[in-house]
Structure formats: C-alpha cells, structure tokens
Amino acid sequence: MCVGIDQPSSRLVLLQDIDKKSEDLALSMSLIRRFPSMALSDKMQDTHVYVFQRWVLDYVSAHPEIVSLQEDLLPLLARAQSQPHLLEKNGIDRYLPASTAQRIDEYDTGVQFGQHEQADHSDSTKSDSLEVFVYVRRGGIIGRANEIPRYCDLNSVVARISTGARTDGSAILAQQTQVGAESMVGASTQLRERCSVKRSVVGAHCNIGKDVKIVNSVIMDHVTIGDGVKLESCIVCKLASVGNNAQLKGCEVGPRVAVPDDSSFKNTPVTEDSDLLDDGMNTEFR
C-alpha cells in the first residue's frame, strides 16, 4: 500500500495499492498540482484507528458497497481532495455539512460568472470542502491487537524493551518464584511460592497463588489466581478470579468473572454469560 501525505498540512492525499513487481507508480496530474509537497511511502502500516465526522458514517450506512474503510472509503475520500468532481459523482456532496456545501455552491456560481480568474486556485477552494488528515507515529510501538495472541505478543514486546523496573518495588515475590526477563509485575502484587511468570505482564494489586505457571499472558489489575493454575496465551481482565488448579489456554477471561476450581478451557472467551462456566470442570483441555 502506497501512502501519500501532504507535508505542510498532514493531509492524507493518496492511499493506493501498488504492484510489488513494478517500480512504476501512476499519479494523476491533478494530485501533483494540488499537493506539490506530497511525500510517498510504502513502509507505513495502518493501525485501523479512524475518527470520522457524523456525515461520513451516514454516507457509509447509505452505501452498502463500502465494505472496507481501508480499501473502499479512505482511498475515495483521499482522491476527492484533488479531484473535486468525485464529490458529486459519488454522492458525497449530499452528505457534507451545510456550511461546506454552501462553499461548493459559491464556487460553482463564481465559475459561471467568471469570478475565479485562476483555475488552480478555484479547484483548491472546492477540494478543501473535504479534508482527510493523518497522524504519523514516529518511534514507540504501534500494533494491531485484533487477536489474543497478538495482544499478548505486543505486551511482551513492551515488557522486553521497557527501560523501567521489571518488578515494581512494592510487589512481593515469595521464595522460589521466577519472573522472566521479558515479564513485568505491577505495584502491590503478590506472587506466592514456586510461581513462574514467562513472557507475561501481571498488573497491579493481583494475588497469585502457589505453583502457578503464567506463560505469554496478560493479567490485568486486581486479579486473583488460585493455587496450581496454568495460564498460557490468556488475557485475564480486571477484577476476575481463577480458581485452584484451573487450566486455560488461548482464553480471554472477562472482567469480574469467576472461573471455577479444576476447570479447563481452551481457545474460548470466558464471560459472565458463558454457558461454559456451568460445565467448565468437564471441558476437555489438551
């Protein structure tokens, strides 16, 4: 994906698929004239975080052919900034706020009566009725955590590169408890005897029992975990509790959920409304 950004204004002016086998990129003259200070890059990654005005959501709702914001909507809005005729062609002008639509009408009237002497200037006036901005994060870490393993991996990366203390000074670690170099333990958390924490993040004010093994997981604040629990690639949300000897792999435990003793779950969300809580002791775990 090639991204074009107007450097003076930080406007997103191009979002276009590119052929990896070709070194050529076709750009319209209207785009080049409108945004001569455009910078191009094929190294950026979309974080899938978008902020829209209400009229954009109304437009999407009225056009079911738009199935992807990244592939359908954003490229269109970006092109319309340098090709104003797309506003009318795609019906976008009908959804623009009243003040914006009025500016377009004034532009059209001015053209009819010859009030715009320079075509380039008038084109920019009309295209400014729609503005698409982009924020480029430089440095730090940004990733898409749309799956449990990816969310756990991102937390692991943050823990690995963090320059702060791996274990907060107020945390209490009992004898024979091991916290790996790529893990973090929050404030006032207590880990009892023979706990093992590897590639995981444990939040603040948690109470972790004896003989607990936590691998590639995220334990949020105020969580209670009983003795003998095994967690792998899990997310345990705030104020949840996991009973003694429970085994969970690839699970998300919802906030305030109490997982029963001796229960086993694999690759499933565990929430307050989950029927699995009723028969968790019989759920097969491999």
Give the largest Cα separation in the chain, rounded.
86
Q: What is the three-class DSSP state of 195?
A: coil
What 3-state class would DSSP assign to 252?
strand
Residue 41, phi then psi, degrees to nearest 5: -155, 145
- Tell me what pLDDT residue 92 has: 94
Tell me: the pLDDT tens digits for 92-105? 999 998 755 555 45
Confidence of residue 146 (pLDDT cuts 50, 70, 90): confident
Give pLDDT tens digits for 154-189.
888 888 887 778 899 999 999 899 998 889 999 999
**Which residue in the block uniquely carries the two structure tokens 């001569």?**
36
pLDDT in tens, 227-244: 999 999 999 999 999 999
- 2-6/11-16 β-pairing: antiparallel
Which has the closest alpha carbon to 48: 83, 1, 97? 1
The rounded mean pLDDT for the chain is 85
Only one residue has tokens 């590119």, namely 18
Q: Region 272-280: what's the mean pLDDT?
A: 62
Helical packing angle, 119-127 and 98-112, nearest 10°: 160
How many distinct helices (H) and strands (E) make up the chain? 7, 21
The torsion of the CA quartet 25, 26, 28, 34, rounded to 10 degrees, works out to: 0
Helix (H, G, I), strand (E, B) or coil at 5: strand
**Strands of 2-6's sheet, edge to edge?**
11-16, 2-6, 38-41
Whether residue 108 is predicted with pLDDT greater than 60 in this model: the reply is no
Residue 279: pLDDT band (50, 70, 90) is: low
N- to C-terminal Cα separation, the chain: 40
By CB atoms closer than 10 A (0-12, 13-18, 19+), residue 278 is exposed
